[in-house]
Amino acid sequence: MRRLIILSLSLVYLVLTLGCSSDEEPYVPPLPTDPPEPPEEELQQPGTTYWWNDQVFYEVFVRSFMDDTGDGHGDLAGLIDKLDYLNDGDPDTDTDLGVTALWLMPVVESPSDHGYDATDYRTIQPQYGTNAQFQQLMSEAHARGIQVIVDYVMNHLSNEHEWFTAAAANDPDYEDWFLWRSSNPGWEQPWGGGNVWHRLSSGRYYYGVFWSGMPDLNYTNPAVEAEMLDIADFWLNTMGVDGFRLDAVKYLIEDGSILQDTPETLEFWGRFREHLNTTAPNALTVGEAWDDTDVVIPYVEAGLHTCFEFNLAQAIITAVNSGSSSSLVSKVDQIIKGYPYHQYATFLTNHDQRRVLSQVGNTSRNKLAAAIMLTLPGVPFLFYGEEVGMESGWDHHDVRRPMQWTSGANAGFTTGSPWNEVGSNYQTNNVETMQADEGSLWNTYRRLVQARVASDALRRGTYHKLGSNSSRLFAFLRHDQGAAVVPIHNVGSPSVEVVLSATASQLEPGEYTAHDLLTGAELTGLTVEDDGAFFDWRPVSSLAGLASVLVALEPVDP
């Protein structure tokens, strides 16, 4: 209180003394001659993109996709049968989803249903088929313009793998392929809690960051590194894949009790990349570094081509659930500034997460989330069944249920008894029913995927956030060598007026016509000033709640 009184008295004194300089001219602030300059906007400069930037990927769990043999498990023959559903290779048809690349969750021999614990890295899981069938899948996919990458789980394998059983039996050839201790050092999983040292009946402990069924390989042993690089070459050169989704890249090499993100791990990925540069220079690597953006970026800098952007996925879901775009806008800003140009993989959810429809609660929000993801830069990945609104909780079995093809028995997945029960909404949410409904989630995904695949601006273009009249609007300009698309997303429920501006842009000055990229409808055109700026642009008078419009711009006098 005393301090407040002293402060007030000093202020009064200051005002009186300033006001009492009677013989000096009173201070008159100068009148502004020009309107204040808007702050200069930083424009993303165009950068190099690669074949993967032109794709829309689709993550397939073979066991749950399509069963051809009738044993209740999905298989490679079933996937081959369904390639035309994914992309029939003809851009003029609209019966296919239009995705241009696949990520197959592990397809190698393994005792588990998920396959993240190999018992043989060079043999196809017998329930899925044979190596020859896999090669057939590759040629059938390539014939339709579909690229294929496979999950490669390098950090760990099954405790039933013969390398591990040999090492556990003290075979000197394999002893040093794993990490051993005579007593438990007591370290815990970096993401919280679980034990990482597992006891054998002989009393020795081996290291496995995920669980006892998945011993970690010892990458400080050069023989391990050499063998795992050789397996990579086998998949790229003999099986013919176009790249890898690399599992658990954070955990490869431990440094004492530091179990993740060690400098040795980052250096390993640099060597892995150098190796691929010589044996398969066009191969893609997509790393799973499940962490915050600032932890993920060093993996791309170290040598992985791209990594999944988990934070962005969450920011999109949060935006559509909260009705505010502000944290999404700042996340995209961080990503644009932090990664090499467009070298990150975007997605909404994957096989480890509750399905997107269940996280956002309704189809309109799901459509909006998909529209945001498929119009942002990066390499987009869909998860099988996302396009028909499969639902789930967080349990892995629930997330990985059979694909919902029809409203018939077992959702059309198998004529046998499905290995995992079909989801409860399959009678309404299935491919056959939703393909027949123009307004369905499936048709929305199809239109968005096809629009992206057909648009240089959406796949490769720079990103520039536009000013708007509402924090519910997320509007940005995608620009590539004159081609320009402005996706506008209303993340709120009420409809909003749309007024957009930019104090700079890479658009050439002049007049532009505008149309809706998805429907072809004509919209209000745009005048771009000399410096690329534009103000008070109202391409549509209002945008409905949870809706998107993709505005394509064409110069009037190119």
Cβ within 8 Å of residue 287, ≥6 positions away: 246, 249, 269, 296, 299, 300, 304, 306, 307, 308
Identify the residue whose tokens are 């060690």: 262
| 210 contributes a contact to ligand NOJ by CB under 6 A | yes
| 534 contributes a contact to ligand NOJ by CB under 6 A | no
| 247 contributes a contact to ligand NOJ by CB under 6 A | yes
- Nearest to ligand NOJ of 59, 391 (CB atom): 59
- For 495, phi then psi, to 5°, come to -75, 155
Kindly name the residue from 75, 151, 216, 247 that is annotated as catalytic.
Answer: 247
Helix (H, G, I), strand (E, B) or coil at 398: helix
| 116 contributes a contact to ligand NOJ by CB under 6 A | yes
Instruction: Name the residue type at position 97.
Output: L
DSSP H or E stretch at residue 151: strand 147-152
- 8-state DSSP, 258: B
Minimum CB separation from ligand NOJ for residue 262, in Å? 18
Identify the residue whose tokens are 């009173």: 26
Q: 147 - beta bridge partners? A: 101
| 157 contributes a contact to ligand NOJ by CB under 6 A | no
| 419 contributes a contact to ligand NOJ by CB under 6 A | no
Q: Is 5 left (phi over 0), alpha (psi -120 to 50) or beta?
A: alpha
Site string for ligand NOJ, 334-373 (x = CB under 6 A): -----------------xx---------------------
- Nearest to ligand NOJ of 351, 367 (CB atom): 351
- Nearest to ligand NOJ of 249, 376 (CB atom): 249
Minimum CB separation from ligand NOJ for residue 210, in Å? 5
d(CA 344, CA 378): 5
- Nearest to ligand NOJ of 155, 470 (CB atom): 155
Minimum CB separation from ligand NOJ for residue 105, in Å? 8
Instruction: Name the residue type at position 146.
Output: I
| 491 contributes a contact to ligand NOJ by CB under 6 A | no
Minimum CB separation from ligand NOJ for residue 382, in Å? 16
| 309 contributes a contact to ligand NOJ by CB under 6 A | no
Q: Which residue is nearest to ligand NOJ (CB)?
A: 116
d(CA 446, CA 549): 15
Minimum CB separation from ligand NOJ for residue 47, in Å? 29
Contact 445, 426 (CB under 8 A): no
Q: Which two three-digit tokens encode residue 466?
A: 């536009």
| 272 contributes a contact to ligand NOJ by CB under 6 A | no
Size of the site for ligand NOJ (CB under 6 A): 8
Tell me whether residue 288 is one of the annotated catalytic residues. yes
d(CA 495, CA 511): 28
Handedness of CA 186, 189, 195, 199 (dihedral sign): negative
Catalytic residues: 247, 288
Residues that bind ligand NOJ (CB under 6 A): 116, 153, 210, 247-248, 288, 351-352
